[in-house]
Amino acid sequence: MEDNKILDLFWSRDQLAIAETRAKYGAHCHFIAYNILCDHEDSEECVSDTLLKAWNVIPPQRPSLFKAFLTKITRNLALNRYNLYSAQKRGGGQTALVLDELNECVQSGFPVEKQLEDKLTSEVINGFLASLTKEKRVIFVKRYFMMLPIADIAKSMKISESKVKMTLFRLRAQLKDILIKEGIYE
C-alpha cells in the first residue's frame, strides 16, 4: 500500500493503518532498532512503540516522508532504551562505538545525544551533510544515524572497509572544523 493511503488510514483513525505500516516498514524499523540494541525482543518492542507513537501523532502531523518519520521515531526510541540499558550495564553493539567516534566532534562534558538534538547543532550538521557528495553523505548517515557496522556499509556500497573508515575519519575531521568555526565546539 502506498504511503499516502496508509496516512489516510491514520487520519481516519482506522486501525488497519497499524497493520499496513508494520507490513511495509516493520522490518526496516526492526533493522534500525537492532543495530542499536543488538536484541531482537527489544527491537520488536521498539517497532511496536514506533507504531503506537505514529498512531498518537498522526493526526495532527502528516509526515511528507513517512519512512524517514518512522526511522527517526524508531532510532530515538532505541537510543532511549539503549541509554536505559547502559545505565544498567546491559548495552552492546555499535551504539557505544558510534557515539565514541562522534565524541571527537562535539564538546566534551555534554552527552552526544543531547548535542545532536540541539537545534543549532542540527542545522550545522544538516548544512554539512548537504555539502557532501552523495556517497559521502550515505556513508555518514548509515554510520551515524542508522548505526551500521563499517563492514555492512562497505558491503552495501560495494567499496572497501578501509575506504569507509578513511571517509568517516575525514568526515569527522571536516565536521569538527565546521563545529569549531560555528562556535559549537571549543
Cβ atoms 17, 9 nearer than 8 A: yes
Higher pLDDT, 47 or 110: 47
Residue 82 has pLDDT above 70, yes or no: yes
- What global pTM score does this model have? 0.64
The answer to whether residue 186 is domain-embedded is no
Least confident of 32-41, 93-102, 140-149: 93-102
Domain boundary among 35, 57, 87: 87
7 shares a domain with 81: yes
pLDDT digits (tens, 9 = 90+) for 105-134: 655 455 555 555 566 777 888 899 999 999
Cβ atoms 66, 18 nearer than 8 A: no
43 shares a domain with 99: no
Rounded Cα distance, 172 and 178, in Å: 10
